[in-house]
Chains A and B, each alone.
Chain A
Amino acid sequence: GAVVSQHPSRVICKSGTSVKIECRSLDFQATTMFWYRQFPKQSLMLMATSNEGSKATYEQGVEKDKFLINHASLTLSTLTVTSAHPEDSSFYICSARGVSGRSNTQYFGPGTRLTVL
């Protein structure tokens, strides 16, 4: 099946630093990528939707200046958490939807666990 990778899988950083998370679709071209945040024992919360070559669309309540999203190519999207604080600690999951043949299904990356000290 389709494979979506995320890097890093786990990151610990100091408060005030920025962290970049990469999401790659490995065997298909992803026209649309999604970034989710998941708190322990809760469901996924959509943060933003990004289309290749255009600006991301953020969900209400998500700070676009804090969570920078770049969808540079059909196989790569990045999420940068700028000036991270402990409350940004969470599990971040990306998802990708592909061009023809895979358009009906979203495939998820393995997630990135961010801990801000």
Chain B
Amino acid sequence: AQKITQTQPGMFVQEKEAVTLDCTYDTSDQSYGLFWYKQPSSGEMIFLIYQGSYDEQNATEGRYSLNFQKARKSANLVISASQLGDSAMYFCAMREAFYGNQFYFGTGTSLTVIP
């Protein structure tokens, strides 16, 4: 089974609108971390936000927030007030066991912000 599933290969959003990128995960570990990365056309992977499995509050970093629903095993990324520079590939990732080495990536979602 896939550890990380991103079901939206491509998304479009109007500039200044909010957008939600879906991510579901599969693990039997109690301790794990969830990450979102942005990859623009330059190729660099840019860390956006992190959510620990024991964190009770949803993580937020500026315009990024992570909608963490543990029972549903989902960790959706919400980008508020989209900007043209947000157009990129977005990858959801998980690492099992707090200091575990294996880092599982989803297949990514390509986001295009329309002016």
Interface assignment of A108: CB less than 8 Å from any CB of chain B: yes
Cβ contact within 8 Å between B47 and A105 = yes
A108 and B37 in contact (CB under 8 A), knowing A46-B102, A93-B43?
yes
Contact of A113 among B43, B102, B107, B108 (CB under 8 A): B43
A106 and B35 in contact (CB under 8 A), knowing A32-B101, A43-B91, A91-B43?
yes
Cβ contact within 8 Å between A110 and B44 = yes
Query: What mask results when residues 66 to 94 of chain B are scored 1 for a CB within 8 Å of chain A, else 0?
Result: 00000000000000000000000001000
Cβ contact within 8 Å between B107 and A106 = no
Shortest beta-carbon distance from B107 to chain A in Å? 5
Interface residues of B in 86-114 (CB under 8 A from A): 91, 95, 98-99, 101-103, 105-108
Q: How far is the CA of A44 from the CA of B106 in the complex (A)?
A: 9
Interface residue count for B (Cβ, 8 Å)?
22
Query: What mask results when residues 36 to 66 of chain A are scored 1 for a CB within 8 Å of chain B, else 0?
Result: 0010001110100100000001000000000
Number of A-B contacts (CB under 8 A): 49
Interface residues of A in 67-115 (CB under 8 A from B): 91, 93, 95, 103-111, 113
A108 and B99 in contact (CB under 8 A), knowing A42-B107, A43-B106?
no
A-to-B contact residues, CB < 8 Å? 1, 32, 34, 38, 42-44, 46, 49, 57, 91, 93, 95, 103-111, 113
